[in-house]
Copies of this chain bind each other. A is one copy, B any other.
Amino acid sequence: MLDMNTKAMYKLSYGLFICTAVDGDKMNGCVTNTAIQVASDPNLISLAINKSNYTHDMVVKTGECNISVISNDADFELFKHFGFQSGRDVDKFADYPKSSYAMADNNIPYITAGTNAYFSLKVENMFDLGSHTLFICKPTFMTVLSDVQSCTYEYYQNNIKPKPVPVGETPKGETIWRCTICGYEWVGEELPDDFICPICKHPKADFEKVVR
């Protein structure tokens, strides 16, 4: 058997979405790239959410969520706000501008800034896939919000995510660690075990020592 080239995984295309949910008083949302139509009769949308997301637990519990489709006019702040922090630690809607979201008929917020459509979904089935749960959902409402093109994961990588700047030679010849996913460079002898890349959120395991 030949070795797998896991770079092939990056050839799959994805849109980008904010999945929002409500549990009691708590509103929350996370970034996901996995919403697609999986059947046409009946119309069904599937959604795979990482179990480590707080939103995941809320969707499992309530069986409902909204999906706002991120468009190319979204700024990096949207991704940072919903993707780079957890609803377990912060209330993502406490400081979120009221002009950037609205409440849908299902009493779950949807994002109105940097998005071009939203769906209200009811979970019909859930499948445990290990790291993720796959939700099979029936749309109960959907509408178009703008004509701006949908943002693909590739567009985000090339045009929205800040490009990491290589630190170059350090004055004292210190060790440099580079994130093999996004290129972010960190200066210091030993990368802490719990280090998370501030740009792409990948862990220490994805960093390599730079030899110059």
Contacts and interface: CB of A to CB of B under 8 A. Distances in A.
A142 interface: yes
Given A2-B143, A125-B127, A129-B44, A118 B39 contact: no
B141 A4 contact: yes
Count the copies.
2
A76 to B, nearest CB: 19
Interface string A111-152: 000001111000001010111101010010111100001111
A201 to B, nearest CB: 13
A42 interface: yes
Interface in A17-75: 33-46, 48, 50, 69
20 contacts: A2-B105, A4-B142, A6-B142, A7-B144, A9-B43, A11-B15, A11-B69, A11-B116, A12-B69, A13-B14, A34-B38, A36-B48, A37-B48, A38-B46, A38-B132, A39-B129, A39-B130, A41-B130, A44-B132, A127-B127
